Structure 1
């Protein structure tokens, strides 16, 4: 099988070009396809990806695409587990969000977009996603025996020891990985990528993930929740605050797991809470090129910065 075999017959031609652009965590391959004068994105599932999970995720991706929340699906080759979608030129949601002239409009649109995700129907057989259980699995499994600074352990153990506050909101279909790299802004609409981990979950978790990765202060979080609900909040609910701590701890632990997979040696003993960069400082170093995601050191310091953030929340 060639990659071109995953395309519909009318897009296979001598002039078609296929360029690898990314590799997913599950081993999936992501490619840019130029065919018939148009750009597309092709994603082929990795061998380790469970077939039933892939089909469930595809069903949710179809729901999202039909609702205008994900790029349009052009072609599916179920035998090869390949999905071809339209290419959307990204005009940077973060630039839209950071511009003082458009910040509030961007924040409002983000909250309303998450609300639309959560309004999607829950498919039969959809997995229930419990980030707290995943954190325990990562911590006690993937990170067992890995040398880590004391504050990293404190951050995770605090979240796992804490009794989650009661929720008055029903579980619903959530994305479960709403970090900014999964947002595409075409100049008018926010579209969401990578629905592989979508499932039934606490509605506050998606919002909490956004707030952590985008470093929103409490006032901004209140306005995001108000846009999401369509009515004003006067304070942050305890359940939401817990989900922020949980989201930062889980994301940080997973980054440390990636660092370990990349053969990082672990803590040297010099890493303390004070010497570890904050999440904002990590982003600055990343933009300056002194730290890079996709390297062992980059994942290590990203993970520690997120765990430091969890302790601060």
Structure 2
């Protein structure tokens, strides 16, 4: 799921609808409803049940429907892949495995079924609330997000790799093959990416399970823990990309980044905290590069009425602005030694 920089988050988050949500959408009817209901007859918990489906808002690379069962309180979500999402590096098999792993550590939604060959993912609906921007910046909320991320990063390995600077190269090649003009900012951004990569190679980190798409709409507060949904970009990768991705997506300040990292690390890594904070800073830039090139590739594959040119441009602009600051140069020196 994506939204433009500066746009307000949706009032219905991936799987959590609240009392402040927009009026409920119309019940799904017709051929798609019949197809989904037939598929869910293969799920033991839903076989033979009377099912009502309504669309959940948001989603560019997927569609999500709330599934309610007549006579029961339990609710579920069925998730459908968008067209050509494999070109974005999305594997629905990996997404399924990652969601199972995330559920196992108490962060992701419980997986009820993965319906093959259609690739429909059925999860239990998370009852909770979105985490609005004014709340996400509170130190206690940042600490709760960090605790959930640490559960993921310390969890069992998942299939798939996520290497963002290789992903942007793949996005460029795929966009060119579809006739998309590569923005002139790409070459400078790629040079900045190479500087970051060289610096990070000086102090390699162990790859860990990562979410890699920590937009605000993917967080749900269930009252006890910050839960995370939408695991379609998950894979083994640099946990600092998750931290930087969360930071840049929520416009965290340097002080808030320090809170995030301290809560994520706990008592460990105090001796090298400055270098680790610098790595987080660099990954904010890498996150924007991935996001910009995601917008470029979408220009060649998406049929939605979304201004992906502007979306990519906004992320390139922020990337280039952030990478010309003294703080960025200090971070490079701190990480690269």
Shorter-chain TM-score above 0.5: yes
Superimposed CA distance per residue, residues 205-225 of structure 1 (whole angstroms, 9 cap, x where no aligned partner): 111110111111212112111
Deviation of 1:244 after TM superposition, in Å, equals 1.5
Deviation of 1:19 after TM superposition, in Å, equals 2.5
Greater relative CO (CA pairs within 8 A, separation 6+):
2
Equivalent position to 1:119, from 137, 154, 158: 154
TM-score (norm 1): 0.75
Structure-2 separation of matches of 1:58 and 1:160: 32
Residue 292 of structure 2 is aligned to residue 252 of structure 1: yes
Deviation of 1:248 after TM superposition, in Å, equals 0.6
Deviation of 1:260 after TM superposition, in Å, equals 4.3
Pairing 1:96-107 to 2, within 5 Å after superposition: 97-98=135-136, 103-107=138-142
Unaligned runs of 5+ in 1: 264-293
Structure-1 separation of matches of 2:127 and 2:295: 28
Aligned to 1:71, the other structure's residue is in SS state coil
For 2:52, the equivalent position in structure 1 comes to: 17
Question: In the alignment, is the contact (CA less than 8 A) between 1:136 and 1:160 conserved in 2?
Answer: no
Aligned to 1:170, the other structure's residue is in SS state coil
Unaligned runs of 5+ in 2: 1-33, 323-337
Structure-2 separation of matches of 1:157 and 1:97: 36
Question: In the alignment, is the contact (CA less than 8 A) between 1:178 and 1:210 conserved in 2?
Answer: yes
Structure 1 residues 46 and 234, CA, compared in 2 at 3 Å: closer, same or farther? closer
Pairing 1:1-313 to 2, within 5 Å after superposition: 2-7=35-40, 8=43, 11=46, 15-21=50-56, 28-36=62-70, 37-38=72-73, 39-45=75-81, 53-95=91-133, 97-98=135-136, 103-123=138-158, 126-143=159-176, 146-147=180-181, 150-151=184-185, 153-160=187-194, 162-165=196-199, 166-231=202-267, 233-234=273-274, 237-262=277-302, 295-297=305-307, 299-313=308-322
Structure 1 residues 208 and 74, CA, compared in 2 at 3 Å: closer, same or farther? same
Deviation of 1:82 after TM superposition, in Å, equals 2.6
Deviation of 1:22 after TM superposition, in Å, equals 5.9
**Which runs of structure 1 show a deviation greater than 6 angstroms over 4 or more consecutive aligned residues?**
none
Question: In the alignment, is the contact (CA less than 8 A) between 1:96 and 1:106 conserved in 2?
Answer: no
